[in-house]
Amino acid sequence: FGESSRRVGLIKLFCGVACTNGWRKTDEFRKAQSLRLKKYFTIPGSKEKMMASVLGCKFPTSYEKKLIKLINEEKLDYKYVGDGNFFLAGKNPDFININGKKIIIETFYSYFKSHDYKRKRFNLFKRYGFKTIFLTEREIMSKNWRKVCLNKIRKSEQCVY
């Protein structure tokens, strides 16, 4: 009971107050909420803490599961952190390199992402010295997906900045 009521509380915190017609956000509520969150996010680690609680127990997507299996079988130096174990600039990447190289792997279905998702994510992680490898649904669902993904990962590992 406590876990679900906490999530409902977080949803209300982000969305507004409940009414019979669904969720409504008044201008007064939006301004007050903006001030509350700005104040809350000045506390070190607060954004990551909130994101981890909102993610709850996030399970890997089918693309992430395929990549986890590939990483384990090929003994690649990457770890799945998309469940909220690691945050960088308030973002939760899918995989990080665990062998000292600053490389992130992001898997995604492009239909659900904005057209500039890759550029924004790449530039954000680059500010912290991370190289980002993007694997789309076309690459992960192709017939020779293992070869495509391995080539992309290994090629990127050779050109780390």
The rounded distance, in Å, linking the Cα atoms of 57 and 120 is 26
User: Helical H runs in 75-107?
Assistant: none
- Tell me what pLDDT residue 112 has: 72
Cβ contacts of 114 within 8 Å, gap of 6 or more? none
The secondary structure element, H or E, covering residue 132 is strand 131-136
The rounded distance, in Å, linking the Cα atoms of 133 and 103 is 7
- Tell me what pLDDT residue 5 has: 52
Q: For every one of its 161 residues, what pLDDT tens digit does the chain have, with 9 covering 90 and above?
A: 455 555 555 555 555 444 444 566 788 888 888 888 888 878 887 776 776 666 665 678 888 999 999 999 999 999 999 887 888 888 889 999 999 899 999 998 877 777 788 899 999 999 999 999 999 889 999 999 999 999 999 988 877 55
